[in-house]
Chains A and B, each alone.
Chain A
Amino acid sequence: MVEAKRKLIDGNGKRLDGRAWNELRPISLQVGLMKNADGSAYIEWGKNKIMAAVYGPKEVHPKHQVLPDRALLRCRYHMAPFSVDERKNPAPSRREIEISKVIREALVPAVIVEDYPRTAIEVWVEVLQSDGGSRVAGITAASLALADAGINMRDLVVGCSCGLIGDQVVSDLDDTEDKEGDGDMPVAIMPNLGLVSLLQVDGIYTREQFQQAFELAIEKGKQVYGMQREALTAKFFSGDGAVSSVEEGTE
């Protein structure tokens, strides 16, 4: 693999798609596209295209899963068979089951689940096209969908992935960089509370690189939070009250 490795960063410090080490891919967010769902949000982040929809609070089935003091948050992260180069089997893979779990655990702290005892809140995240960093993009859309559904929340949740290319810490790895790079670190934060709700790491980081990548992910997450907020306020406060869209280029 090493010998066949493409140069992911050129002599001028530019990445394959022309970004600098600390730049984000283009991101656009739209809130409230799905008619049946109680809340929804659509995100395009690089080539990622992800729809998140929320139903609830609703009755819990099966009933033995009821939580007496809070809502049960269900979450499914699913990739469409056509979302990747080789067709993906539509049955949930072990990877998707793990990601569904970490997304749920990233969202629950932001939802005031105590306000909805004995109910279920369902979060469906569908990856229509995948391009590296889909779990953090999914979390970013899912927390907007929860807010759109009018669920009481402490904060939004926003994610960004950082990683390593060689010894260089970089932000927001795309598909190629994720596969051919040297490490990936998805992080999700609750920006106003300054707390981390998702952290996964792979690759080999020195203690310094670990801290640099982690802190960069938080900084970039805050930047995406700005767009998230804009998309949400645009839906509820723009004159026409219609679907909103916010686009941001690479910084």
Chain B
Amino acid sequence: MSMKKNYVVETIRKAQMVQLLAEGKRMDERALDQLRPLTIETGVIQKANGSARVTLGNTQVIAGVKIATGIPFPDTPDKGILMVNAEILPMSSPYAEPGPPSEEAIELARVVDRGIRESEMVDLGKLGLVPGKTVIAVFVDCNIMNVDGNLFDATSYAVVSALRTAKMKKYVVKDDKAEATEEMVPVPVERTPVSVTLARIGDRLVVDPNTEEEASMDMRITITTDDDGNICASQKGEASTISPAQVLEAADTSIRVGKQIRAQIMESTK
């Protein structure tokens, strides 16, 4: 959520920040490509099929997976359904409000969903039950609990961690009818996509912007990579531009930084 609320203060802060960045420094003394402390707890909601609480600095997100049967989309009759949604809770910041989802919340949910979907993290082919009639539907809902910048990455890590640890009932098909058994099996997870968001402040790119940095950024770019270092989703944001050279720089940074984050996610979701 963008927090450009106090024009004068932010303009002064930005000038300071740009000056520091010219020396390769950030306000909170992080390296330009350094994440804030990332914590991942899984299994925090017992009623969910899978869940995770992620904190990235002071940003906190809880993701919960709920699994049910559903009707497949007409163009993919034998594939399961995956839906990722996010809500920026009114409690998450003094600037958040209840009501229909804002443009920012919609973009957040769609960009996170895109990274998970396009990386083929969940093998939807294994979630078909009765072609054209019944498939397994995986819903991942994210509650943004506290906003301190970089909701894109925190939410994405929460979704990936919740899915990696989710268990669902095993279904058997009898006479074209799907029946749930008591046996619990893992969700068919094949890949571990990792989203890395960079903000441009002045002319420098910084990884994992906090609220203060987001208020001063001109441009934001999120790039999601998979286990083989392939790029599977991206989104440029904010009303500014990026040079082609900086797009490629951001891609290389995302591949490199993504590798470390993936290792932590895998370790936390073993």
- Whether B237 contacts A105 by the Cβ 8 Å rule is yes
- Whether A109 contacts B244 by the Cβ 8 Å rule is no
Residue of A at shortest CB range from B236?
A199
- Whether A109 contacts B240 by the Cβ 8 Å rule is yes
Chain B CB within 8 A of A13 CB: no
User: Cβ of A247: which chain B residues have Cβ within 8 Å of it?
Assistant: none
- Whether B106 contacts A97 by the Cβ 8 Å rule is yes
- Whether A105 contacts B238 by the Cβ 8 Å rule is yes
Given the known inter-chain contacts A98-B106, A194-B244, please indicate yes or no for A199 contacting B239, CB distance below 8 A.
Answer: no
Chain B CB within 8 A of A80 CB: no
Taking chain B's interface residues, is the majority helix, strand, or loop, or is none over half, making it mixed?
mixed
Interface size class of A (residues with CB under 8 A): 35 or more
Given the known inter-chain contacts A196-B241, A214-B244, please indicate yes or no for A94 contacting B235, CB distance below 8 A.
Answer: no
Given the known inter-chain contacts A204-B232, A207-B255, A211-B248, please indicate yes or no for A105 contacting B110, CB distance below 8 A.
Answer: no
- Chain B CB within 10 A, most for which of A104, A194, A197, A200: A200
- Whether B255 contacts A1 by the Cβ 8 Å rule is no
- Whether B234 contacts A94 by the Cβ 8 Å rule is no
Chain B 110-134, CB within 8 Å of chain A: the 1/0 string? 1000100111100000000000000
Residue of A at shortest CB range from B239?
A108
Complex CA distance for A202 and B112, rounded to whole angstroms: 12
User: Cβ of B232: which chain A residues have Cβ within 8 Å of it?
Assistant: 201-205
- Whether B110 contacts A201 by the Cβ 8 Å rule is no
Q: How many positions in chain B have a CB within 8 Å of any CB in the partner chain? A: 38
User: Cβ of A179: which chain B residues have Cβ within 8 Å of it?
Assistant: 75
Complex CA distance for A57 and B99, rounded to whole angstroms: 30
Complex CA distance for A214 and B114, rounded to whole angstroms: 18
User: Cβ of B7: which chain A residues have Cβ within 8 Å of it?
Assistant: 68
Q: Separation in Å of the B34 CB from the closest CB of chain A? A: 22
Residue of A at shortest CB range from B109?
A94
User: Cβ of B231: which chain A residues have Cβ within 8 Å of it?
Assistant: 201, 204-207, 210
- Whether B247 contacts A199 by the Cβ 8 Å rule is yes
Candidates A97, A109, A206, A218; contact of B241 at CB < 8 Å: A109
Chain B CB within 8 A of A95 CB: yes
Query: A-contacting residues of B (Cβ < 8 Å)?
Result: 7, 75-76, 79, 103, 106-107, 109-110, 114, 117-120, 221, 223, 226, 229-244, 247-248, 251-252, 255
28 CB < 8 A contacts A-B: A1-B75, A94-B110, A97-B103, A101-B107, A102-B236, A104-B239, A108-B239, A109-B240, A109-B241, A183-B118, A190-B241, A196-B241, A196-B244, A197-B242, A199-B242, A201-B234, A201-B235, A202-B117, A202-B233, A204-B119, A204-B226, A204-B230, A204-B231, A206-B231, A207-B251, A207-B255, A210-B231, A218-B244
